[in-house]
Amino acid sequence: METAEWHEYGTESGNPKCANCMVHSGYEASAVDHTFNSFGGILAAAKATLFNKYEDEQALQMLSEIVKPVHAYNPLVNIEGTAEQETRA
């Protein structure tokens, strides 16, 4: 954990392997619930794993698109202030 180059990972890193990653974004819990909460979910997961075919061609195209990192067109803004300017609600 301490030696990982974390800036090289994530959807905003520019790493093409991470471009469509949705891990730790809140979607994984929904996917697990859908997969294991019904027979249809288990069947759909098995079908997707074994046959690797997308019925939705538009979804497949979206997965193949190169995604620009968010900060490439929406740069971060760093707002600095002094301790005197901080307020607590």
Burial tier of 12 (Cβ tally within 10 Å: 0-12, 13-18, 19+):
middle
pTM: 0.34
Provide, rounded to the nearest whole percent, the portion of the chain with pLDDT above 90: 3
> Would you state the pLDDT for residue 70?
66
H/E segment holding residue 32: helix 27-36
- What integer best gives the mean pLDDT of the chain? 75
pLDDT of residue 14 exceeding 60: yes
